[in-house]
Each structure stands twice: as structure tokens, then as C-alpha cells.
Chains A and B, each alone.
Chain A
């Protein structure tokens, strides 16, 4: 099969790398940037040093600290007004996926009229925005290296994504020290998001050798270091490894795309207001088991990365089962809750299944699966 490889965003990585933000932004020719983050980040003492760093490089800043989880379109549209009034010529986003995706959506609207929902889907002809620098403070979304953002449409009560070159950053700065303070629950929840990116990108129909290589490395790293980072958040090696795995998985799914696990995650996340990473992890083991029917070679690689023993004579079904077991064991080791733990009523599953098969991302499933079978998967994962 012929595939094309895309690595969109150059990265600067290492402890203390965020101190180069000012220099890098100045090199890009920016004079006044919008700094996007949330109030929690300011309280944690992460935002201010970066703002000061920008100032010390002679860059003026306009701060937007109104980022919310599952970034709502209304918030993004407000921020754009602010950015336009201030006449900014660059954007620096500091934070998790919500901050980075908000920044991307703001950039889309800098030179394209609102609302953002007009641009959901793959957009090839948007007017370019301004240079963006992304500084992730969680290890999960990989958004710093992707060409898309996920935004919540408040009027339709659903999430959708804008895929466009306007969402591509000019630089990602990966500084593991910024992730040291992430609480264990958040470490686990964001870490499994990266895991989902890696295993789904490998088993989709758009996977390529580069995305497979990145995904395999991400899976191995997550298997080894996520439990460490979860138990000991101050372990800088674990933090650095996880930040790298998250970026690799982000690069992998930019190429290979994600499929059913994310359709399930988006749907359950929206219905029950569950954090993205957790929502994507709930049925992930069953999803990978299902892909083994046609993508068994890839699932075998996943098993190897997870250290799961598989007989050389194993059938695709057995390979799928081994992957499911190994993925679930990894999740259990970092206390990822199941649907029952989260208080999702068992009788809701049948109602959720049709929403999953109606999700935009469902187009990317490796082979067709009925709503009834999706419901079976949910059932299986419910209290697993």
C-alpha cells in the first residue's frame, strides 16, 4: 500500500526548554502574542514564568486565561475578538489539549469569519493565521504536533474537529518540568489518551510505516513509564518519557488517524461529561480486539509492545483477546475506572451505541461494525 508521511511541527525538547520560548518567538518575527492558558495553570505557577520569559525577549503579550475543558466555541470566539482588537501577530498556548486546541481554533478565526462550526471537517482552503507555539503541560493529547483541533459546539451539544494547515503550530516546546505537578489521576487519564492514539492509529486503514514506528515506540514507553509517572509524579525521567510518548502518539495519529475508540470516547465523554482520556480508554481493549479480525498483524505488534505472550500459531481472534487482556491490565495498573465505576447506568449502553455509529469518526473504522455489535462491546467493557 502507498502512504504519505507527515511530520508537521518541529519540536524543542528537554528539561528547561520552556525558557527558550521568548527567543524562539522573537526568531519567528512576532512582536505581540496572545498567550492562551487556563486559570489553573496560572495558579500552579506555570503561566507567569513563560509570560515573563516572553517579556524579557521584548515580546508584548495579551493573556487569555479563559480556557475551559472541552473548549466551547463561544469561549474561542470571545478570545478571537480580544486577539483581533489587540492586533496580535502570534499565539503561545500553554497547557493541555484544551489550551492548545483553543489556540488553534482562535487561529482559524483570525482571518476567517466566525462561527468556528462553519469550519468543522477537513478544510483545505482556509486563510492562514499567525505563527503558533505550543507548550504542553500534560502528556496525552499530542495536540502540539497535530493538524486538528476539537471544539465543543454549544448550540448542538456535540464535539467536532477542524482539520487544517491553519491548526499546525510553528514549534512545539516540550519541557517535562512543566508536567511534574500533574496529579496522579490526571497523569493516568492523559496517559491513556496517548495510548489510545497509538493503538488506534496502528489499526486504522491509514496507518503507514512511520506512524507504526512512532506508535510502537509510544506503546512501549507508556507500558513502562506511565505506571511509574502515575505512582511517582516527581520522577522526571518518567515525565520526560511520557511527554515524548505523547508527542510520538500525536504524530502517529496525525498520519494513521484514530477510529472506533475515539468515536466511543467522544460520545460517552459528551453524554456523561467524562474526561477525554478516560472516555477513550473505557472500551479501547475491546476495540483493539475487534480490529484483530483484519488487522491482526498490527495487533500482534501491539501485543509485543505490551509484552503480552502470543503463540506463533494464534488465530486473529486469539491475538485480539491477548491484546484486550494486556491493555486492560495496563489500565488497571493505573486505576482507570470502568463505566460501572463512573456511575454510567447499564441501561444507557443500548442508547449510546447508535450515537457512536453516527459519530463523524466512525467513517474510519477498519471494517464495518453494526450498532448491535458496538453495544455488545460496551456491554463487555461495562464492568471489566
Chain B
């Protein structure tokens, strides 16, 4: 039977208990929603005593289902003030599953100066250790020290100095399978600050000597169906640009059609987008000993990850993704891929969300604090976060904090969270997702690009957003959304897998219902936290200013947004 670890930071104690029966069939995003609504007061202070930080595995953890070991992290967000589930790849999910730990719950606040680290050893023993020696350390140094102390093969979940300092854009970093770089981030919503507030610097998970075995209602049926679905995903992945290139391939589409954000969501086109595009990326990989087609977790068949070296062939960053490139690139009028990679590395090291940081820099550029496209000043300002200068602290609190501080009128946030790399006037369904997702402006909640008739038109956009938001709740409860994209031809099989694992004969509707319930629970949580319909809108300038790339404005009427989640 699955266990949960309860880590009480008040008493610095750890207890291992059986997973609640209520949560038996849940995982990932769905589990976090149900846990939060039952256990974490919606009006609590996100960095206070009553908030909790939850790490948990997906519905199919412990099985051979591809990408089943994504790790979900949840809590009340210090950035949005609402519920937050941020999920991440990397190796930790796999080792937690092998340990038989479905959930880690972090609660309370420490009385003494921290930080601590949670160590789960190969016998399954979990204990809090003093981590004062790691205080203020960046994720890369920290990973190296922890690997030196506990072995190269451990998985680590860490925060950098940003999390310790309570920056509202602070991320939580998980080491990659294989190389162990701490470059996979549960980035959004400032959950790194929640971990920091609890005084936990790291979780170290060792490979257990005895591997936990999951229970199946019908193991044979599960294996048969799972093998089939894995095959379908693997076949789909063969033609997937995310596999063959990486997520950077998205630029080739968005750069051409005005979806790529440029100069703080100005709505312009960026003529030099291919400078930060797929060809440049692949050339740099090939000539510098970099790599793509890497799996961030064992068993992944999509393998979208990469390792990006500098001009001297030295490791610079990994998990170098579209969002970071779009937002530190064209959205800051920067077209030098190496400079963007350095920004990515810096953010990964101190542990902040690149989407939030890049948007914050873009609004600072718009406000005149630094010129458009100024790489050196961008890197210098990012360093201020590490040095904790006054502006560095504001920058660490994200895009809205910087925009307000500098008097910028155009601040691209929803529910205080900065937008991802998609211009909502030119992919209106994604704009609907930004506006209505309980997570804030989050592309992973339902990116509709290419799924409605005309990305810049109105028809079918709300429908696409609604369907995808439910679908993403299902995906985020069980797997990586990139693998999920290839399940579409055999979607009902996921229901069969669910039945074979947990019993019953409900089929896919069981998962669909779980997806809807998750969304409605999250919305209910936010409502109790004080959010209203007004929080489900884009900033005014998207409604009023035309995107000069397409002439489009965000013209989805309020009523369409209000009824989006009527089920």
C-alpha cells in the first residue's frame, strides 16, 4: 500500500503513514485539489503556518506507463493567492514511487533558523537533517554537494536562494534522470517560497534496496493496455518536433503567426525570430557537443529534453525550453540564444521561474529601466535577485511587482501571474485559458493554438479552452502533457487502464469526471480565497490595443468567460 510522509516543521519530525483511502484513486493535480480543499484554509497566508506544501505522484505511478512519474507540487500560491499545482519531470518521481511514497506533506513553520533537508534513504527511512551548511546556496552547487554526500544516483528536490528569501517567483528544482542537473523546475506560482518558508532546502531520495510494488485490480489487463498505449505514444513521438528538436521548435510556428510575444506583449512580429529558432539551436547543439532527445525521467518516449553547451563546449544549461527562449528572447527584444541560455542557467541556479523573471525584465524595459534588447543589464538585474538588493527583491516577486514599482501600464498577468509565451490576441482560446484557469496565466492549463479554426478568430475558442482545461487536469494527474498529446487516438484506453488498476468498469468517464471535479474544486478554492469574476479577465490592454501583427484584439465577451465552466 502507498504511504504518505508527513513532515512537521514545527516539531521537525517525519512520520510515514498509509495513504488515505479517500485519495486512493487520485494523483497529481487531482489529488492536490482534493487535499487542499480538505486541509488547507483558502484564506491562509501562503508563507504562514497554515499553508502546506504537497509533493505527490500521479495516478499510474509505480507502473510501466510512460511519463507516469511526473511529480506534482501543490500549495496555496504566494504569487496568485489561489490554489497552485505545478508539475515537474526529473528523477524524483520515479524514486519516490520505488520507495512507495505517493505523497509528501510539508506543514507548519520551523521555530529555529533553518534550513533542514529531508533525507529518504535506501531502507525507506525518512528524517530531517540539519542543512545550515547549504544556506544561500544555488541549485547547481547544492546538487553537487548533495550528490557528493549521498551519491550521484540520488534524486534531489531543491530550492535556491530565491526560495529561501521568499521570492514570490521562486521555483522548486528536481534533478534530471541521468546527468542529474537540477534543471527541471516546478516553476510557477512561487512554491519555492513556500518550501523556503518551511525551512526546507532539499529533499534527497535514494534508490530503495527493495522496490515498492503497486497493486492492480487486474494486472494482466493493465499491462496489456499499458503496453499498447505506450506504443501509440512512442509512434506519435517519432514525428513530434518536441522529440526531434525540442520545445524550441514552437518558435517556428509562433514567430510566423504573431503568437510569439514580442517587446512585452506589444503584439508585433519579431523579424529575427529564427535567430532563436530550431535551426540555430540544432546547429549549436551539433557543433558544441550538446544533445537533444533526452529523457528527463526514466521510461519517457517523448524525450524532449536537451543539454545546451556554450561556444567553448562547456555545459551551460539543460531543459532549455520554448517559454524561456520566447520570453527572455523576442519578448525582451533579445535574439542571442547563448545569452538567453545564460539567463536560463542563472534562473535555474537561484531558483526562480523563467517565465515570471523574463516578463518582469520585459516590463522593466517598457518602463525604461533598461533598453530593449540589453543583455548585459538584464543579466546584471537578474544578479540583483541573488544579491538581494532592493530592486532584486522586487524582481524576485515577479512581473506584476516590477510593473507596479516602475509604473508600467501594460503588465501581462492574470491572477498576478505572468503570461507564458503565447500572445492571447492571436490565440484567443489560450487567452481564455489564461483568463479562466484557476492557476493564473498558465499555458499548460490549455494551450489552444492550432486547435480552433482561426487562432485569431472567436469561433470555437471557448470550446477548445474548456475541453483542453479538463483534458489537462486529467493529464496532469497522471502523466506528462507532451506524451498525453499522443494518446488522443486511443483516449478511452486510459479509462481501461484506470479500471484495471483500481477496479470497477467505468471507462473514460471516470477520468473525465475527475478532470471536471478537479477544475471545479480549484475554482471553489480560489473563490473561498477571495477571487471573483474580475480575476477571470485579461489585463485591459489586450482588449483595447490591437496586435499590429494581425490587427486583432481580445474580443471574447465576458459572458463567454463567465459560463466557461458550466458543466
Contacts and interface: CB of A to CB of B under 8 A. Distances in A.
Given A2-B552, A206-B453, A294-B557, A368 B459 contact: no
Contacts of B557: 294, 367
A368 B460 contact: no
Interface stretch (B101-109, B184-192, B525-533, B559-567): B559-567
Interface in A106-161: 122
| The 6 A-B residue pairs with the shortest CB-CB distance in the complex, in nearest-first order | A205-B458, A206-B459, A363-B463, A205-B459, A363-B460, A367-B560
Given A205-B458, A367-B563, 16 more contacts: A2-B456, A204-B459, A205-B457, A205-B461, A206-B454, A206-B457, A257-B459, A362-B463, A363-B464, A364-B459, A367-B557, A367-B559, A368-B466, A368-B564, A368-B566, A370-B566
A239 B464 CA distance: 41
Contacts of B454: 206
Contacts of B550: 2
B148 interface: no
A108 B552 CA distance: 34
A368 B467 CA distance: 11
Contacts of B551: 2
A244 B557 CA distance: 34
Contacts of A365: 463
Contact of B462 (A206, A257, A367, A370): A367
Interface string B116-150: 00000000000000000000000000000000000
A1 interface: yes
8 contacts: A1-B555, A205-B458, A206-B459, A293-B559, A363-B460, A363-B463, A367-B559, A369-B566
Nearest to B465: A368
Interface in A356-376: 362-370
Nearest to B566: A370
Interface in A332-384: 362-370
Nearest to A365: B463
A3 interface: yes
Interface in B442-475: 452-454, 456-464, 466
A363 B552 CA distance: 21
Contacts of B460: 205, 363-364
A149 to B, nearest CB: 18
B458 A294 contact: no
Contacts of A369: 563, 566
A281 B532 CA distance: 39
Interface residues of B, number: 24
Given A2-B551, A369-B566, A364 B458 contact: no
B563 A3 contact: no
B552 A368 contact: no
Contacts of A362: 463
A369 B563 CA distance: 8
B543 to A, nearest CB: 12
Interface in B381-425: none
A204 B466 CA distance: 18
A292 to B, nearest CB: 11
Contacts of B452: 363
A3 B457 contact: yes
Nearest to B546: A2
Interface string B526-557: 00000000000000000000000011100101
A363 B456 CA distance: 16
A29 to B, nearest CB: 34
Contacts of A1: 457-458, 555
Contacts of B564: 368
A365 B464 CA distance: 11
Nearest to B453: A206
A53 to B, nearest CB: 39
A262 to B, nearest CB: 14
A362 B459 CA distance: 11
B425 to A, nearest CB: 11
B205 to A, nearest CB: 43
A294 B556 CA distance: 10
A367 B461 CA distance: 10
Interface in B13-72: none
A176 to B, nearest CB: 33
Given A2-B550, A206-B459, A368 B453 contact: no
A366 B559 CA distance: 10
A204 B453 CA distance: 13
A294 B561 CA distance: 12
> Which of A3, A205, A257 has the largest number of chain B CB atoms within 10 A?
A205
Interface string A7-37: 0000000000000000000000000000000
B463 A368 contact: yes
Contacts of B566: 368-370
A132 B462 CA distance: 36
Contact of B559 (A2, A206, A294): A294
